[in-house]
Structure 1
Amino acid sequence: MKQKQKKLIVFDFDGTLVNSFDEVLKIWGILGKMYRFKIVTRKDLLQIYRGNFFEEATKKLNISKVKIVLISPTIKKMFIEEFKTVKMFPGIKTVLRRLCKKAELIIVSSNFNRLMKKYLEENSLRMCFKTIMGAESAFSKKKKFGRLKKVFKCYELIYVCDTVGDLKEAKAADVKTAAVTWGYHKKNDLAKIKPDYIFSKPYQLLELVK
């Protein structure tokens, strides 16, 4: 009998595992005042997440990648402080604990490694994830997927995310996608990118390991 292919389920962080939109918007608003670049509105931030976050942010904020790198210690500090009040979406904790018994779990995000590790440790979930690839790993998620595909050659890789931009990057890397509708972008927008799965409730993620 043919052996079932192992699953590597890769999660986005913001908007997929944690409900952080308001905090992210607040941080970029403060940074705009501090460093005199454009103050983003809710609409602006949602637009930024329709492509690669760093590429779109430089255009929308009229700020260079070099400047983002230079001010990244300040950005990281503010994110770590603000995320003390960020909550996980209801039901996600239980789902992750069940999934990690049947598949390898990894996080690929544009957030910071230190923040995500700390957050997961505080929620007793760090042991569920094999590794975390944040902003420090690469600006491009497509590049991160490429690295994962080389390491996990025998695995079926599925990316779980909540934005149009993430779906586009995963598809560009020829990675299967599962869109979740409880995050930043609406179901109709996500459906236009034609993900392999669309889930509206966290418990539905368990279908990935059936």
Structure 2
Amino acid sequence: MVKQIIFDFDGTLVDSTEVLMSVFNELADKYKFNKITNADIETLRRMSNLERSRYVNFPLYKVPFIVAEFNLLYSQKIKNVNFFEGIKDVLDELNSLGYKITIISSNSEKNIRDFLNNNNVTIIDEVISSNNLFGKDKVIKKYLKNHSLNKSDVIYVGDEQRDVVACKRTGIKVIWVEWGYDSKEVVLEKEPDYVVSTPEQLLNFFKT
């Protein structure tokens, strides 16, 4: 029986596309990779992470070297990040139903906590940064161990293919939300356990 719900942050709880694009393009100026525009977003949604790195001419192995700078620039624009419509109500109702809610994200813990504080959200039990873009499975495994949780006690809610892959490696169920960054065709290749199209569907999943 599910006791705890782990959420991704960007693309799942919050719509930060414009902020992420702005930060990315600031770094593109400095590190000489290709900028992206709104016209590129739909194309990028249909790509794997490796294809995206080639598209913007920025190798994935360089990502760890700009994470700190990326997080700092993101923090300066945090007031432009907003919950997806209906998501805050979903979180409140899940809390009232007795679920514990955790966020595990590649974004920094500081950025996430600043956002939560700015939006008067106090019901999140824990915020954890995975630091490594592709190391979320290790963070989830550590979380389960630290809290003496069985795999069946937890479910993950995310929007990207890599969220599904991390959960498969960890052995926990994953709900993919259709309103996030990765396209359906990309994510379904990895076979998420459940798919929801709206926040209302997400809430109903936990009510039934």
1:75 counterpart = 2:74: no
1:179 counterpart = 2:176: yes
Give the letter for the 2:103 counterpart: I
Give the distance between the partners of 2:183 and 2:134, measured in 1 at CA: 24
Equivalent pairs counted in the alignment come to: 200
Map of 1:15 onto structure 2:
11
Residue 91 to residue 43, structure 1, CA distance change in 2 (3 Å): closer
Q: Is the 8 A contact 2:46 2:186 kept in 1?
A: no
Residue 139 to residue 83, structure 1, CA distance change in 2 (3 Å): same
Give the distance between the partners of 1:142 and 1:56, measured in 2 at CA: 22
> Is the partner of 1:14 in helix, strand or coil?
coil
Give the letter for the 2:41 counterpart: R
> Is the partner of 1:84 in helix, strand or coil?
helix
Give the distance between the partners of 2:90 and 2:160, measured in 1 at CA: 20
Map of 1:159 onto structure 2:
156
Map of 2:95 onto structure 1:
100
1:198 counterpart = 2:195: yes
Give the distance between the partners of 2:161 and 2:169, measured in 1 at CA: 12
For structure 1, the residue ranges without an aligned partner over 5 or more in a row are: none
> Is the partner of 1:100 in helix, strand or coil?
helix
Give the letter for the 1:8 counterpart: Q
The range that moved more, 179-188 or 137-146, is 137-146
Q: Is the 8 A contact 2:7 2:156 kept in 1?
A: yes
Give the letter for the 2:4 counterpart: L
| TM-score calculated relative to the size of structure 2 | 0.82
Give the distance between the partners of 2:90 and 2:21, measured in 1 at CA: 27
Map of 1:115 onto structure 2:
111
Give the distance between the partners of 2:83 and 2:60, measured in 1 at CA: 32
1:141 to 136, 139, 145: 136
Q: Is the 8 A contact 1:137 1:144 kept in 2?
A: no
Query: Per-residue deviation at 1:36?
Result: 2.0
> Is the partner of 1:37 in helix, strand or coil?
coil
Residue 82 to residue 57, structure 1, CA distance change in 2 (3 Å): farther
For structure 2, the residue ranges without an aligned partner over 5 or more in a row are: none
Q: CA RMSD in A?
A: 2.6
Identity %: 28
Give the distance between the partners of 2:143 and 2:51, measured in 1 at CA: 24
Query: Per-residue deviation at 1:96?
Result: 0.2
Map of 1:124 onto structure 2:
120
Map of 2:206 onto structure 1:
208
Query: Per-residue deviation at 1:138?
Result: 7.7
